[in-house]
Copies of this chain bind each other. A is one copy, B any other.
Amino acid sequence: MAKQKETITIYDVAREAGVSMATVSRVVNGNPNVKPATRKKVLNVIRQLGYRPNAVARGLASKKTTTVGVVIPDISNHFYAELTRGIEDIAAMYHYNIILSNSDLKKEKEISLIETLLEKQVDGLLFLGGEVTEAHREVFAATSVPIVLAATRDEKKELPYVTIDQIQAAKEATSVLIHEGGRRIALIGGPLTDSVNGYPRYLGYKGALEENDLPFDDELIRIGDYRYRSGYEAMTDLLKSKPDITSVFATSDEMAVGALHAAQDMGRKVPEELSVIGFENIPLSSQVRPLLSTVAVPMYDIGAVAMRLLTKYMNDEPVESGQVILQYRIELRNSTRLREWEEERL
């Protein structure tokens, strides 16, 4: 079987098998309306000729490409990689392929990627982790291709999404710190302008303090970029200006581990003298000492559920609710002192 310069088409198979193109198309697509004998004959010719159906031609004729577009902030970020793995597994299960594009959370880029994906005639679109602005809304509204958001939400609830209750999760994480006795609880968060992750987690932190009648102190707050280094620096700074803090809620595991190391470098024992809790539950959190307590976000599931939801939309299947909130879990390990946690959810 040499490099086939001359592509062999459905027509070649039809001729060779002495049937019509329609029949070949039927057997290729598993249509039952074909006499077994005919099917067998055609199948033989297909194998013999090494015929490979052209999905592009099929896509043009059927207006279905069995591929979905995925717009992701950054695939090298474990959180999103895990989400993507969930998406791809379910996609494969339903025989879809995914086209992946990184946006780096740049709005212009997100929009243009979506446009490109739409040009490629994807059957559906998954938009991960980004904020939905008016510009996004416009593009989404102008197409009939189904869209599902994952790890982000649509405040107006016009678009379907799959995510967790971030405010509540952050509130619980903070409560853990309070319930074990912490009274000076610092926050190492993301930018408050980040409406997807930064702001809601901040709100949760603040909410927990209020609920427990603890004073909210602006000076106990530091803003990082979710990366290790920023957590380390924030903690170093915090410990210098506010040496009396008892606990830290870092809104990403990387920042939490950075904070943990900074504390250790400054001679603080974790969790004896200082507690640290993170957010995400990436592998790192259980690959450091002490093991990091954190909010376990079901990353894989968010992706899987979002993709599953998308298949329903693509097949016009009924959908109970387009807004699905998955459960997170408070994973208590060794960077905090509390051993059990059973806050009832709202």
A interface residue numbers (CB < 8 A to B): 1-5, 50, 52-57, 59-60, 65, 67, 74-76, 78, 81-82, 84-85, 88-89, 92, 97-102, 115-121, 138, 141-144, 228, 254, 257-258, 261, 264, 283-284, 286-289, 300
When the two chains form the complex, which single residue of B53, B88, B120 contacts A101, counting CB atoms closer than 8 Å? B88
Chain B residues positioned under 8 Å from A55 (CB to CB): 119-121
- A74, closest chain B residue (CB): B85
- A89, closest chain B residue (CB): B102
11 A-B pairs with C-beta separation under 8 A? A4-B143, A4-B144, A52-B115, A54-B60, A56-B59, A74-B85, A75-B81, A76-B85, A97-B117, A99-B100, A100-B100
Assuming the contacts A59-B56, A119-B52, asked whether A287 and B228 have C-beta atoms less than 8 A apart, the reply is yes
- Name the residue among A5, A78, A81, A119 with the largest chain B CB count within 10 angstroms: A81
When the two chains form the complex, which single residue of B4, B89, B99 contacts A98, counting CB atoms closer than 8 Å? B99
- A283, closest chain B residue (CB): B228
- A1, closest chain B residue (CB): B142
Chain B residues positioned under 8 Å from A287 (CB to CB): 228, 254, 257-258, 261, 284, 288
Assuming the contacts A142-B50, A289-B289, asked whether A97 and B76 have C-beta atoms less than 8 A apart, the reply is no
Chain B residues positioned under 8 Å from A142 (CB to CB): 1-4, 50
Known: A4-B144, A99-B100. 15 other contacts (CB 8 A): A1-B138, A2-B141, A2-B142, A3-B141, A4-B142, A53-B119, A54-B60, A75-B81, A76-B78, A81-B81, A97-B99, A98-B99, A98-B101, A261-B287, A284-B284
With A and B bound together, what is the CA distance between A172 and B250 in angstroms? 38
Q: Closest 5 interchain pairs by CB?
A: A76-B85, A81-B81, A3-B144, A55-B120, A56-B59
B75 touches A120 (CB 8 A): no
Chain B residues positioned under 8 Å from A50 (CB to CB): 142
With A and B bound together, what is the CA distance between A141 and B2 in angstroms? 7
Chain B residues positioned under 8 Å from A5 (CB to CB): 144
With A and B bound together, what is the CA distance between A193 and B228 in angstroms? 36
Chain B residues positioned under 8 Å from A258 (CB to CB): 287
When the two chains form the complex, which single residue of B4, B67, B78 contacts A99, counting CB atoms closer than 8 Å? B67
**Closest beta carbon of chain B to A161's beta carbon, Å:** 19
A88 touches B100 (CB 8 A): yes
B60 touches A57 (CB 8 A): yes
B289 touches A264 (CB 8 A): yes
Chain B residues positioned under 8 Å from A228 (CB to CB): 283, 286-287
**Closest beta carbon of chain B to A58's beta carbon, Å:** 9
With A and B bound together, what is the CA distance between A82 and B77 in angstroms? 9
- A227, closest chain B residue (CB): B283
Chain B residues positioned under 8 Å from A4 (CB to CB): 142-144
B78 touches A78 (CB 8 A): yes
With A and B bound together, what is the CA distance between A143 and B4 in angstroms? 6
Chain B residues positioned under 8 Å from A118 (CB to CB): 52
When the two chains form the complex, which single residue of B54, B75, B98, B117 contacts A121, counting CB atoms closer than 8 Å? B54
